[in-house]
Amino acid sequence: MTRDMTTGSPMARMLAFCAPLLVGNLFQQFYNLADSILVGRILGVRSFAAVGATGALSFLILGFALGICSGFSIPIAQSFGAGDMETVRSRAGQTVWLGVIFTALITGITFFWTDEILRLTRTPEEIFDDAYRYIFIVFMGTGFTILYNLASSVLRALGDSRSPLYFLIGAVTVNVFLDLLFMKVLGMGVEGAAYATVLSQAASGIACLLYIYKKVPVLRLDLNSLRPSLRRMGYIASVGVPMGLQFSITAVGSIILQSAVNGLGADAVAAVSAGAKVHNIVAAPLETCGVAMATYCGQNLGAGKVNRIRQGMRSMTVVSFLYCGFAFLVNYFGCTSIAQLFLSSGETAILDDVRRYLVAMSCFYPELAIIFLFRNGLQGMGFSRQAMLAGLAELVARVLVAFGFVGRLGFRAVCFANPTAWVFADAILLVLYRYEIRKMDSSPEYLLRLMRGSAAAPLKRAAAK
């Protein structure tokens, strides 16, 4: 079901779009958590730490894949907002080729360099072998990750946030079943968790693709749409690749920070890993608002409705800030209970560090909300390269904390590393958003040039009139 977000109440449209998206995000978190919960419960804390130690590296590689998939869908959202279905199909066809190209690149790189990157990040020797076996298998399944995220991103670009949810729920169910089968019944260790992740991702991606072919006529591609065009692929890549690099730049900072955490020992790695899992669950609604903002801004940029973009940003900022208060209370009172999904209640010292880590971060959730909203909003309007500056700011902040403070202050510095990065990024994003919105308001020619990149036929007809 497609949804036009260029008309009606901005808040009502986005909240309706967010509802299934939020459920899907939570299920995605559970999809990621299933391995960690079952690994921790079935295989023990050291295996849990091994899987957790790959988190930053996974974010570097798979985060790039997720970023490019989201970015490739933005020109499609803009064309849909402009009412140009011919360009929607054409751009969807080019994303197929781009998905194949980047699958080959990512799989090839990780095949040869996973071992070296894990050693570079000082993964503790006692968990190194398990960490390598887990993440290598996951990386070899990158193609299925790209398949699902590309298909679901294109559906969301057309305003359909509900259909990808159904396939994701099925994938989570399959993942849990396979985790239990591979680890508990067949005794495959962390490799079983990795195979379960890859196979369930493949199931959701194939199901989503079949749904698009049967139920979404506007995305039913013909040979003309699938004919490769370097010019069209180049334009889509110019939007998508900076978004992927945004994820990777942020991940580089996380890897450097993870390296500093690894130097504090396996218990610190386990605490940060568990804390990150809880944070991902609690902060999921904030991320969801950001994803909705990207689609909303993309469609409204295509329709030339700048004031509507401004209204939507104000509305979702209020909603996000209200949620931040609730999220703080959840972390303050309930984070250790949630963390016991992964850790035994007897690991009291680790659980205490988890609570310190999460309470410190949740004090800065409004800053995180600004990142999600304004970065995704800018990317939705096509300013992916400008938004990369915020990622560079996050990188600088995490490097400063990792090299300047973790060695002297230990775990206390780790607790404030992410909040410091969020503050640095906000300083960039707020200035960029204000500048671009004012420029579109004051210069109709500039707005028309941006719209011209969103669609071809409608603007040519408008120019002729």
Task: Give pLDDT tens digits for 205-247.
Answer: 898 888 888 888 878 777 887 888 888 888 888 888 888 887 7
Place of tokens 């990780």: 110
| Number of CB atoms found within 10 A of residue 411's CB | 16
Angstrom CA distances, 450 to 219, 291, 335, 453, stand at 24, 21, 44, 5
Q: What tens digit of pLDDT does each residue of 155-170 get?
A: 887 877 778 878 888 8
Confidence of residue 315 (pLDDT cuts 50, 70, 90): very high
Mean pLDDT of the chain: 83
d(CA 37, CA 309): 40
**CA gap 70, 62 in Å, rounded:** 12
Task: Return the pLDDT at 363.
Answer: 94
Q: Which residue would you say has higher pLDDT here, 454 or 402? A: 402
Average pLDDT rounded to a whole number, residues 416-426: 93
* Other CB atoms within 10 Å distance of the CB of residue 196: 25
Give residue 404's pLDDT band: very low, low, confident or very high (50, 70, 90). Answer: confident
As a three-state string, the secondary structure of 381-421 is CCCHHHHHHHHHHHHHHHHHHHHHCHHHHCHHHHHCHHHHH
Mean pLDDT check: name the lowest of 3-7, 231-235, 332-336. Answer: 3-7
pLDDT greater than 80 at residue 123: no
**Given this model, what pLDDT does residue 32 score?**
65
Most confident of the following: 91-100, 254-263, 337-346: 91-100
Cα dihedral across residues 260, 261, 264, 265: positive or negative: negative
pLDDT of residue 454: 56
> Is the predicted pLDDT of residue 453 greater than 70, yes or no?
no
d(CA 52, CA 269): 7
Q: What percent of the chain has pLDDT over 70?
A: 94
pLDDT band at residue 458 using 50, 70 and 90 as cut-offs? very low
pLDDT tens digit string along 298-311? 888 877 888 899 99
Average pLDDT of the segment spanning 175-182: 87
Say what the pLDDT of residue 456 is: 44
**pLDDT over threshold 80, residue 144:** yes
Q: What is the reported pLDDT for 445?
A: 81
Mean pLDDT, range 135-139, rounded to an integer: 89
Say what the pLDDT of residue 462 is: 39
Residue 464: per-residue pLDDT: 34
